[in-house]
Amino acid sequence: MSDVTVTPAAPAPSSSRLQVRPELEGAQPIVASDGRPLLQFKSPRVSQPPVHLADLTLAERQDRLKELGHPGFRAKQLSTHYFSHYTTDPAVMSDLPKAGREELVRAMFPPLLTEVKRLTTDNGDTIKFLWRLFDGALVESVLMRYPGRVTLCVSSQAGCGMNCPFCATGQAGLTRNMSTAEIVDQVVAANRALAEDALGGLRTDGGHDADRVTNIVFMGMGEPLANYKRVMGALHRFIDDSPEGLGMSARNITVSTVGLVPAIDKLAAEAIPVTFALSLHAPDDELRDELIPVNTRWKVDEALDAAYNYYRTTGRRVSIEYALIKDMNDHAWRADLLAKKLNQRGRGWVHVNPIPLNPTPGSIWTASEKSVSTEFINRLRAAGIPTTLRDTRGKEIDGACGQLAAGE
Ligand code: SAH
């Protein structure tokens, strides 16, 4: 799967349904030589950053240290500095001998993310970070405080090869896969920023507020399941007990995908109970072929079967993501069809997260009218499907879903 570039079949001619066709004004859609949307599974740039402690398991860290002429037990010390204190500064590592400390730290913690820009919302509860990677590629992550939890939206690829026309990241194409440590370092950097009180906004009502990232969503740039091995490595670093990893709860980590069916099956078989989200956006193949080009490869029913299998295998209720796009996918009959397809597979296995479309440059698509999204949600609920409207946190700093384009 990772070595092919496929071009989906041309969309079927539009029928009589009322539907707004996309008009991309500024943005250039990426098309193959035959004019159809291009899917990129293989990263054009193959170079990866130098190996970092967070790329390795504890045993691998010990081996690497021995190769470098250090005792294996340094692995635990260095891991504690990084995963518990979020530091890579040799000056504070007083438990390491002074002689050779700098070299050791440089070898195990090559700098991966350079902060280019930090945008904070007016009320201070959301920060978007722009990072430059070792080869100049740019990625973003978004940190959000909610009562009692802190969520980080991480990127898994520089750019994205899935080419969804309503998503800003999709319009830029894929630059390369991110390494495990590049993914992990976004969380460690966010924890460091939190320790420096970057988010502020601590509750004054006496309630407890999280002082580190408690939830991670793979909803930043990239298609996580197209970078499977490195994302799996990052999941292990997130959930492994401290000091081997961050000691987070798997259920607080959400992996979101356009629907790469073989990779969904593989993820289910890993028996790591992360939360699984499928970006569906349409219950019918005719429209989904257009909104999610990979649908020409794996159809709505195949993606839903894989999501249902994820629930059966892990016991974790799955999320269906649905960006409500005015006159495009927000019709009442589509809500009914979605409910029917979900209920056909079982009850209690799924919930739906509609989100009003966030604007992206160059696209005339807009969010559904309030009354239309309310009707859409009510129809799902009436059919017994738990449905919650997602918030569009970070919109004013272009940090909301689908707006991450990593421009300077
Ligand atoms: N590639 C993965 C993860 C990144 S996108 C995926 O597609 O699931 C994270 C979520 O934001 C997905 O559900 C995606 O469909 C949604 N999204 C993309 N563009 C959006 C937009 N303009 N408005 C609202 N949601 C959007």
Domain ranges in the chain are 53-108, 114-397
Name the strand (E) or helix (H) holding 290: helix 285-291
Distances 91 to 68, 82, 83, 102, 196 between C-alpha atoms, Å: 20, 13, 17, 8, 18
Pocket of ligand 1 (CB under 6 A): 162, 166-167, 218-219, 223, 256-258, 279, 321, 323, 355, 357-358, 360, 401-402
- Tell how far the Cα of 58 is from the centroid of ligand 1, in angstroms: 34
Ligand 1 atom index nearest CA of 358:
23
Rounded to whole angstroms, how far apart are CA atoms 26 and 23? Answer: 9
What distance in angstroms lies between residue 167's CA and the mean position of ligand 1's atoms?
7
Q: Distances in Å between the alpha carbon of 179 and those of 118, 252, 272, 320, 341?
A: 22, 22, 20, 27, 37
- Distance CA(11)–CA(3), nearest Å, equals 24
Give the tens place of pLDDT for each residue, 51-83. 999 999 999 999 999 999 999 999 999 999 999
Which of 220, 212, 198, 208 lies closest to 86 in space, CA to CA? 212
> Pocket of ligand 1, candidates 160, 260, 261, 401: which has the most ligand atoms within 8 Å of its Cβ, to mutate?
401
Closest ligand 1 atom, residue 403 Cα: 22
pTM of the shown model: 0.91
How many residues in total does the chain contain? 408
53-108 CATH, one of 3.40.50.2000, 3.90.1300.10, 1.10.150.530, 3.40.50.2300: 1.10.150.530
Amino acid identity for residue 338 in this structure: L
Name every residue whose Cβ is closer than 8 Å to that of residue 114 and which is 6 or more positions away in sequence: 131, 132, 133
Each residue of 338-355: pLDDT tens digit? Answer: 999 999 999 999 999 999
- Ligand 1 centroid to 256 CA: how many Å? 8
* Least confident residue range of 77-81, 169-173, 186-190: 169-173
| Span from the CA of 291 to the centroid of ligand 1 (angstroms) | 11
DSSP state of 387: B
Cα of 109 to ligand 1 centre, how many Å? 32
Helices (H), 85-223: 101-108, 168-171, 180-195
Write the class of the CATH domain 114-397: alpha beta
Say what angle helices 332-345 and 300-314 make with each other, to 10 degrees. Answer: 40
183: Cβ contacts below 8 Å, ≥ 6 apart: 154, 155, 156, 230, 231, 233, 234
Which of 164, 221, 256 is the pocket-test mutation for ligand 1 (most atoms within 8 Å of CB)?
Answer: 256
Q: Is the pLDDT of residue 97 over 50?
A: yes
DSSP 145: E
Lowest mean pLDDT among 157-171, 193-207, 232-246: 193-207
Res 23: pLDDT: 45
Task: Report the catalytic residues.
Answer: 140, 401
Give the separation between CA 332 and CA 160, rounded to whole angstroms: 31
Q: In what order do the strands lie in the sheet with 350-356?
A: 114-120, 126-132, 138-146, 149-153, 215-218, 253-257, 275-279, 318-324, 350-356
Tell which residue, 248, 249, 356, 352, has the closest CA to residue 307.
Answer: 352
Q: Is 310 exposed, middle or buried (0-12, 13-18, 19+ CB in 10 A)?
A: buried
Report how far ligand 1's centroid is from the alpha carbon of 224 (Å). 12
Query: Lowest mean pLDDT: which of 13-17, 65-69, 249-253?
Result: 13-17
Q: Which residue's CA is minimally distant from atom 21 of ligand 1?
A: 402
Per the CB < 8 A criterion, the answer to whether 160 and 167 are in contact is yes
CA-nearest residue for atom 5, ligand 1, is 219
Could you identify the atom of ligand 1 that is nearest to the CA of residue 220?
4
Q: Report whether 61 contacts 75 (CB < 8 A).
A: yes
Listed range (148-152, 337-341, 356-360, 391-395) with the worst mean pLDDT: 391-395
Q: Which residues, in sequence order, are bridge partners of residue 146? A: 149
- pLDDT of 310 strictly over 70: yes
Q: What is the mean pLDDT of residues 233-257?
A: 97
Nearest CA owner, ligand 1 atom 6:
257
